[in-house]
Amino acid sequence: MISPFSKNIRIITFYVFVFVVLLNVIIFLKTQNDNTLINIQSADNYTHDELDVQVNKKYCGVETKNGCRFLFAYHMPEQETSSNRHFLAFTQIARQLNRTIVLTNVGQSRIWSARQLPFDFYYNVQAFQKKFPDVNFITQEEFKKWTKERHSKPNAIHANIENKKPKNTFKYVKTKPKVLKEMRRFDFTFNNSSSFLQINIGNKNSWIKEEGHRSMINFLENTLSLEAEVILVVHDKNYLIKTDDSIPYAKHLTEAAERIVRKLDQYIAIHWRMERAEVEMMPECAKRLVDYLNRLTSRTGIKNIYLATDYPLSRKPQSDTFHKLSNEHHQAMKILNSSFQLDTWISTHSLDYLKEYTALERPLKDELKGGGLQGIVDKLILINATYFVSGPKGCCRILSKYTRRVVDERKELVKKGVTRIKNVVDRW
Ligand SMILES: *[C@@H]1O[C@H](CO)[C@@H](O)[C@H](O)[C@H]1NC(C)=O
Ligand SMILES: *[C@@H]1O[C@H](CO)[C@@H](O)[C@H](O)[C@H]1NC(C)=O
Ligand SMILES: *[C@@H]1O[C@H](CO)[C@@H](O)[C@H](O)[C@H]1NC(C)=O
Ligand SMILES: *[C@@H]1O[C@H](CO)[C@@H](O)[C@H](O)[C@H]1NC(C)=O
Ligand SMILES: *[C@@H]1O[C@H](CO)[C@@H](O)[C@H](O)[C@H]1NC(C)=O
Ligand SMILES: *[C@@H]1O[C@H](CO)[C@@H](O)[C@H](O)[C@H]1NC(C)=O
């Protein structure tokens, strides 16, 4: 018989054994994983400053203790079409400031550090780099590692660009807890109260003209000429740096669109953004669209109709700012869908290939419930449509930047002599 005492000994021995095994496993894994620049043992021979120099060299190529300079536009408040241009504008500023630009994460139609997809999932970084051959890029992931590996943490300044008066002034403001919370995934230090700036650039009218615009940009660049290793920058919705240029889309997205464009060949593309339309008008709008399509299809003989919409083709609306879906919206879609066979990103299976990206399974699942990737592919399909039609006042959001971008691109193609395109835009 085993005495209770020796039973305890056995149990203790067992746990000690398990503990030792686990400890060894952990040590083994740690040494395996440690592919940082300097391993633990040899690190003893360097001072922290010397190690930081090595870390800087690895991430920004500068061999000094505080020599890295980054600009991190970490949150574009608007949807993709606008954010795209704003991000490009910040890249121009990064060039002026001689700073590396952090390629902020993307997702659900935003360029935002809190999102899960890497920047290159929306954008063609190689083509973007060609536009800015003299600007260094770093991915958000690498940038984050830099902050983590540093012994003395990089110092940061936060600049909030607001459309407030007096224009072209700045002041120090209180730290915003929301910002600090969002920045927790990185490892910065903010020295003190002068680390938070509010930059006032006045209202839109004051810099809509060329001269005001130029002086606003100069002011921004001067104010942001700071010593801090990291400048975090965020802006108001109305802030607008004028640029006709935009960041080109990732190859997998342009190729997905090209497959559909080839398949549809001759097609009428409809853009119906229902958000901010007048709800009671929805069914009437659908009837008018059906009449319009009847006339256009019988005149041209074109059978293929492609629909891009924020109406929920899957489950959620295809736009995260579209919250109030009503019976009228459903009615309108029924009227349209029962009159014509419509192609959409779902019916064409244009995004089915995303299943291959198994490592991004979770974020991609969220993405397809929102409007990011499908919004981009839709846009590329609309741009190349034989006929493009968008809603009249009341039926849709009429001043959409998304529609504007499609129209501008179509104008360009017509100018270049692409004869397949028969109109620029029509309102049904
Ligand atoms: C660290 O310093 C010790 C003692 O000076 C020396 O024996 C060892 O080789 C050094 N290690 C490295 C990696 O330089
Ligand atoms: C720009 O920054 C790099 C290091 O990041 C430095 O070597 C270079 O001299 C700077 N150029 C100018 C014009 O300041
Ligand atoms: C904050 O830090 C900066 C840079 O170290 C320094 O010039 C400034 O005087 C400090 N401000 C306050 C209020 O401590
Ligand atoms: C923060 O303080 C340190 C030490 O005084 C200084 O070197 C650094 O430039 C300061 N950073 C900012 C952003 O003011
Ligand atoms: C649209 O047409 C242009 C000009 O023909 C072409 O270069 C581009 O690849 C097309 N885009 C798509 C998505 O088909
Ligand atoms: C249109 O109807 C078909 C079948 O009747 C359905 O599969 C499709 O999802 C509908 N499309 C829209 C945009 O509601």
pLDDT digits (tens, 9 = 90+) for 138-192: 999 999 999 999 999 999 999 999 999 999 999 999 888 888 898 999 999 998 7
**Please, are residues 380 and 357 in contact by the beta-carbon 8 Å criterion?**
no
pLDDT band at 1; cut points 50, 70, 90: very low
pTM of the predicted structure, to 2 decimals = 0.84
Is the predicted pLDDT of residue 34 greater than 50, yes or no? no
Q: What is the mean pLDDT of the chain?
A: 90
CA distances from 256 to 8, 148, 260, 374, 406 (A): 66, 37, 7, 10, 17
State the distance from the centre of ligand 1 to the C-alpha of 51, rounded, in angstroms.
15
42 lines ligand 1 (CB under 6 A): yes
The predicted pLDDT at position 338 comes to 97
Q: Percent of the chain at pLDDT above 90?
A: 74
Is the predicted pLDDT of residue 417 greater than 90, yes or no? yes
State the distance from the centre of ligand 6 to the C-alpha of 280, rounded, in angstroms.
22
pLDDT band at 15; cut points 50, 70, 90: confident
Q: Residue 54 class from Cβ within 10 Å (0-12 exposed, 13-18 middle, 19+ buried)?
A: middle
Q: Which residues, in sequence order, are bridge partners of residue 413?
A: none
- Mention every residue, 6+ apart, whose C-beta is less than 8 A from residue 43: 51
Residue range 243-268: average pLDDT? 96
45 lines ligand 1 (CB under 6 A): yes
Ligand 5 surroundings by CB, under 6 angstroms: 254, 257-258, 261, 380, 384, 413, 418
Is the predicted pLDDT of residue 35 greater than 90, yes or no? no
The predicted pLDDT at position 386 comes to 98
Pocket probe mutation, ligand 4, options 191, 193, 230, max atoms within 8 Å of Cβ? 191
Residue range 206-230: average pLDDT? 92
Q: Which amino acid is at 401?
A: K
Q: Is the dihedral of CA 329, 337, 290, 302 positive or negative?
A: positive
Nearest one of 234, 268, 287, 263 to 382, comparing CA atoms: 268
Render pLDDT for 59-73 as a digit per residue (tens, 0 to 9). Answer: 999 999 999 999 999
Asked whether the bond before 317 is cis by omega within 30 degrees of 0, the reply is: no
Residue range 204-231: average pLDDT? 92
Determine the longest span between alpha carbons in the chain, in angstroms.
99
- Angle at which helices 210-223 and 80-97 cross, to 10°: 60
The predicted pLDDT at position 229 comes to 97
Higher pLDDT, 114 or 39: 114
**Please, are residues 425 and 407 in contact by the beta-carbon 8 Å criterion?**
yes
Cα-flanking dihedrals φ and ψ of residue 268, to 5°?
-100, 130
- Length in residues, the chain: 428
- Nearest atom within ligand 1 for CA of residue 44: 1
Is the predicted pLDDT of residue 221 greater than 80, yes or no? yes
Q: Which residue owns the Cα nearest ligand 5 atom 9?
A: 258
**Please, are residues 390 and 403 in contact by the beta-carbon 8 Å criterion?**
yes
Nearest-angstrom CA–CA distance, 302 and 317: 29
State the distance from the centre of ligand 1 to the C-alpha of 45, rounded, in angstroms.
6
CA distances from 316 to 20, 321, 346, 360, 366 (A): 51, 11, 13, 20, 10
| Helices assigned H by DSSP within 104-172 | 125-131, 140-149
Higher pLDDT, 370 or 279: 279
Residue range 260-266: average pLDDT? 97
The predicted pLDDT at position 41 comes to 47
Q: Which residues, in sequence order, are bridge partners of residue 162?
A: 200
Nearest one of 380, 428, 424 to 402, comparing CA atoms: 380
The predicted pLDDT at position 193 comes to 77
